[in-house]
Amino acid sequence: MTMLAPPAVRVTELPTTDRGRGRSVVWMALPALVAFLSFGLIPLLGALGLSFTTWDGIGNIQFTGLDSWKAALTDPGLPHTLAVTFEIMILSWLVQTPISILIGVFIAGRQRYRGLLAVLYFIPLLLSSAAISITFKAILDPNFGLGSGLGIGVLNQDWLGDPTLAIAVLIFVVSWQFIPFHSLIYQGAVRQIPTALYEASQIDGAGRLRQFFSITLPQIKYTIITSSTLMVVGSLTFFDLIYVLTAGGPGDATRALALAMYQKGFMANLMGPASCIAVILVLVGVALSQLLRRLGGRGDESQMEGM
Amino acid sequence: MKRRDFLTLSAGTGTAAALAACGSSGPSNSGGSGGAAGAASYWALSGQPSEPIRRAAIDRFNKANPSTQITGTYFANDAYKQKIKTALGAGEGPSIIFNWGGGGLKTYVEAGHVEDLTDWFAQNATVKDKIIPASFGAATVNGRIYARPVESVTPIVLFYNKRVFDQVGVQPPQTYGDILDLVPKFNAKGIAPFSLAGQSRWTNMMWVEFLLDRTAGSDVFNRVFAGEKNAWSDPAVLDSLTKVQDLVRADGFIKGFSSITADSSADQALLYTGKAAMMVHGSWSYGLQKANGGDFVSSGALGYMNFPPVDGGKGDPSNALGNPGQYLSISTKATPEQKEIAKKLFSTTLLEDEEIKGWVGAGYVPVLKGSETQLSTSPNADFLKFVYDTAVNAKLFAQSWDQALSPTASETLLDNIAKLFQLQISPQQWVDAMNGVIGK
């Protein structure tokens, strides 16, 4: 999956002389700009263009105006696909965020064993989604998997063959894969909080719980926004995981937008409607990240709240 | 040679080559990377046991024709299906295109990507006469032949585990009614009546195909294939779909079937491990059972039969379903030299004795007429004779629906079949959805 990372550093004022400053900044942005143009903007415009055509991916491209949009938007499967997409998005956010914050806060401590744990936690992120999916698929297999192999009845469910369980498994695997990453972000954020705040609160008699809710959480507010944006926008692009794990099944129970796009475009040879879904994905992604920015308040206010 | 000399030399040749390329005013395919004109590309499927047989055929061709070479590239099945479409669309396809005929081939034809081979077959009647006529159906679009049938005939058959049948004390089914009677008996012993890799969807499709064929014959699908309006609205379709859902509700298929994929061969494993008693699958399953099932095949525990008749059904029980062959087409984008190489391959190396030996040894029946003698000397003689008889004696050998239909209609078909097995839609909803994509 792709991750849209916000700029790590905000350049406001450079403490150098004014001469040639603007030019050098443009130069520095050039490689990123070229990459964005060639791998982001141009394909995006290509998809937008294709969404007004009829094309089977092999023959000639015919401009057919809004036909593909009509086909994509009146597809009886679209509401379900959208619902699945948002269901996965919301559930994976709800599961990942609290756990990531708690783990992040925990491993932010300086003890050596926590460093070791942080490394162990990090391992799932190093594996590819396809490998993770194949592994979980094998473990959860109703006939040859862990449950039936060990004879543990509770584990021996039809994990990926039951619509509700399949969504649950998907959320679990997504969380298993990405919680380490978000924990790491939170760990960094928590370590940035000045210890003076905790020392002062201790003097005022605040307990650990009070410290967590009154200092830690407000101080990592922007990190929560950042991490949530990554989770939410990232969840729109879940493809490999779903494709390998359930292929959208059982039936269409786990068919999210990205998978629907692939099936329309590359399996049903309907590139026009598939491009429409791609454009819808981009629009939803942009809208959600803007919404999250708004929720996070003005970007230019001090992150050192109360300092 | 000293390093400096080497550098000078290589720089010199580089310049010379560049100059030569600039100065060339001849046909664009001459010059360039040496020998490109004498080489054709061939893309086909990877995987055991077929890939080594394909590789060996290409190697033999290259050895016999040193001046005209074929370079083979091999892809996994599902990956290939996507890759070939994108490559053809981008004009980057191979000279020789492996395909399955039917609806996929039709889209290539309509986009002008494959050569019309009708005249070539007329001139090379000996090639045509050797091949089982049923194999040509899927290679023909609007009365013209666009592909050469190659490799093997693979009908879909009903496999069963004799050990499990003995254990439960029952006989193999003679009719669909017998199947329904067997379901509770196997379930009572904790054995799934049927193995099914439902996530792959085409596996479920075989059930719908057979039930409709045995109930009403091939007319309904022929009308669908011909693009007749509302052709799925035949009472026999509703009847067959209801039978499917009844079988799902009666636990006819293994628990969790909708999360099993055929690619992993888990469905095969369910049969030879005795977790399931029966399985409807392509005849290529025999090779997989033999390779993975230990002594399952060699001990004679694998049983097989054509899908039994449905009681009161009008369909001819000898009808077969499946793949009447694999196909090779020639790209229209290939150079005249490459097309010649392809045609030379089509008329020589393919399915000569050496290759036939490979297919027969791996448990396949070649798409050739009169190959019984070769089959009977094989260690798989019984099974191969059964497959040959099924293919040749079939009143009708229908191509699998997902191959016969266009990719657009096929995707809707598979999607709705998955939902049907999942009991997410009713038979009537299935019919309505499928009527919507007739002719698309």
pLDDT recorded at residue B361: 86
At residue A27 the predicted structure's pLDDT band, cuts being 50, 70 and 90, is confident
pLDDT digits (tens, 9 = 90+) for A200-219: 999 998 888 999 999 999 99
**Per-chain mean pLDDT for chain B:** 87
Name which of A100-109, A142-151, A180-189, B143-152 the model is least confident about.
A142-151
Is the minimum CB–CB distance between B407 and chain A shorter than 8 Å? Answer: yes
Residue A154 has pLDDT above 80, yes or no: no
**Per-chain mean pLDDT for chain A:** 86
At residue A125 the predicted structure's pLDDT band, cuts being 50, 70 and 90, is confident
Pair A237, A85: CB distance under 8 Å? no
- Give the start-to-end residue ranges of the domains of chain B: 14-151+325-399, 155-320+406-435
Q: Which of B89, B198, B424 sits opposite A58 (nearest CB)?
A: B89
> Which of A269, A270, A271, A275 is most worth mutating to test chain B (most B CB atoms within 10 A of its CB)?
A269
Closest Cα of chain B to A7: distance in Å? 35
Decide if B418 and A57 are in contact by the 8 Å CB cutoff. no
Pair A157, A147: CB distance under 8 Å? yes
Q: Which of A159, A253, A268 sits opposite B407 (nearest CB)?
A: A268
At residue B422 the predicted structure's pLDDT band, cuts being 50, 70 and 90, is very high
Q: How far is CA A81 from CA A85, A160, B194, B365, B417, in A?
A: 6, 18, 31, 43, 18
pLDDT recorded at residue A110: 80
Asked if the interface predicted TM-score (ipTM) of this complex is over 0.95, the answer is no
Dig out the tokens for B374 from the structure: 């070769």
Rounded Cα–Cα distance for residues B280 and B159 (Å):
6
Residue A266 has what DSSP assignment?
I
Q: Which of A186, A184, A279, A230 is nearest to A89 (CA)?
A: A230
- Give the start-to-end residue ranges of the domains of chain A: 83-254
Backbone angles phi, psi at B71, to 5 degrees: -105, 120
pLDDT recorded at residue B363: 84
Closest Cα of chain A to B62: distance in Å? 30
Pair B256, A142: CB distance under 8 Å? yes
Name which of A17-31, B63-77, B122-136, B254-268 the model is least confident about.
A17-31
Closest Cα of chain A to B297: distance in Å? 21
Write the CATH number of the domain with boundaries B155-320+406-435: 3.40.190.10
> Domain A83-254, CATH 1.10.3720.10 — does that match?
yes
At residue B17 the predicted structure's pLDDT band, cuts being 50, 70 and 90, is very low
Residue A39 has what DSSP assignment?
I
Rounded Cα–Cα distance for residues A163 and A142 (Å):
15
What proportion of chain B, given as a percentage, has pLDDT over 90? 60
- What is the radius of gyration, based on Cα positions, of chain B? 25
Across the range A120-149, mean pLDDT stands at 87
pLDDT recorded at residue B6: 39
At residue A300 the predicted structure's pLDDT band, cuts being 50, 70 and 90, is low
CA angle A234, A236, A241 (to 5 degrees): 80
pLDDT recorded at residue A18: 52
> What kind of fold does domain B14-151+325-399 have according to CATH?
D-Maltodextrin-Binding Protein; domain 2 (3.40.190)
pLDDT recorded at residue A112: 82
pLDDT recorded at residue A295: 80
Decide if A144 and B256 are in contact by the 8 Å CB cutoff. no
* B421 interaction partners in chain A (CB closer than 8 Å): 251
At residue A303 the predicted structure's pLDDT band, cuts being 50, 70 and 90, is low
Residue B59 has pLDDT above 60, yes or no: yes
- B14-151+325-399 and B155-320+406-435: identical CATH topology: yes
Highest mean pLDDT among A91-95, A113-117, B102-106, B354-358: A91-95
Using CA atoms of B99, B101, B104, B107 in order, give the dihedral in degrees to the nearest 10: 110
Q: Which of A58, A251, A270 sits opposite B418 (nearest CB)?
A: A251
Q: Which residue has the tokens 């509302």?
A: B230
pLDDT digits (tens, 9 = 90+) for A103-119: 999 988 888 888 788 78
Across the range A54-83, mean pLDDT stands at 90
